[in-house]
Amino acid sequence: MKPHSVHLRGFKGDQIMGEVTIHAYEDLPLTLKPSKFSISNKVDYEIKTIEEGKVYSLTFRDKLRQKGKYRGILEIKTNYPKKPKLKIRVYGNIKGSLQVTPERIYLGRVDITRLKASKTKMVRSFKVKSAIKGEFKIEKIDYNHDLFEVNLREIEAGRTYDVELKLLAKKIHPGRLSEKLTIHTNMKDDPITVVDVIGHVK
């Protein structure tokens, strides 16, 4: 069987497909019988016979056509005693109309003592751009004002923005840091994008 997993990647609204080919590896003609699919509410699949008893094609299609991530397993019973069950892992990563690079902001391990003593601030930046045709505008960004300072700069009019995130030392505490930036745009089909900010303060 090649491959052992399927990755469905694309953008919201697109027709996203993936394929797996299963070959018989014994003299005995192979038969397949699907038994369980954990994400049947998100993905459709179809089994086609390429060569009877020898080669089969499995086509997977994302049916939600919505932004999000998912994963699941399709279990298939066979007539082979040594391989009575096949497991095909299916991963979905459907992106919205906006592309954020990187998708998450990692601050790493933050030394609070050094940060407070230093005159320089910890800064991270990311880009937001349209993944489809047409222009957009970032109307506002919601964030924790006690922990961050956020600066927005338009790089390409209506197409690309640079967002600079500065970590403020005054009110951070030791432990895991997990925050979110919520980006509001004027895009009707995808008005809100959330960016995770992760780190550990020591």
Share of the chain above pLDDT 70, in %: 98
Sign of CA dihedral 130, 133, 137, 140: negative
pLDDT in tens, 163-174: 999 998 888 889
Q: Taking residues 166-186, what's their average pLDDT?
A: 91
The more confidently predicted of residues 200 and 118 is 200
Least confident of 117-126, 132-141, 162-171: 117-126
CA angle (143 as vertex; 133, 113 as ends), nearest 5: 125
Q: Is residue 118 over pLDDT 80? A: no
Q: What is the pLDDT of residue 2?
A: 62
Edge-to-edge strand ranges of the sheet holding 5-11: 5-11, 83-95, 68-80, 32-37
Q: Half-sphere exposure of 201 toward its Cβ, with a 13 Å CA cutoff?
A: 20
Confidence (pLDDT) at 181: 97
State the pLDDT at residue 172: 84
Positive or negative: CA dihedral 144, 146, 147, 152: positive
Q: What is the pTM of this model?
A: 0.70
Cis, bond preceding 102 (omega within 30 deg of 0):
yes
Give the largest Cα separation in the chain, rounded: 73
Write down the pLDDT at residue 3: 62
pLDDT tens for each residue of 68-103: 899 999 999 999 998 999 999 999 999 888 889 999
Average pLDDT of every residue of the chain: 92
In order of their start, the domains of the chain are 5-95 (2.60.40.10), 98-201 (2.60.40.10)
* pLDDT for the residue 188: 86
HSE (side-chain half, CA atoms, 13 Å) at 157:
0
Cα dist from 166 to 8, 16, 144, whole Å: 35, 37, 11
Share of the chain above pLDDT 90, in %: 72
CB 138 within 8 A of CB 195: no
Where is pLDDT greater, at 76 or 112? Answer: 76
**What are phi and psi for residue 96, nearest 5 degrees?**
-85, -170
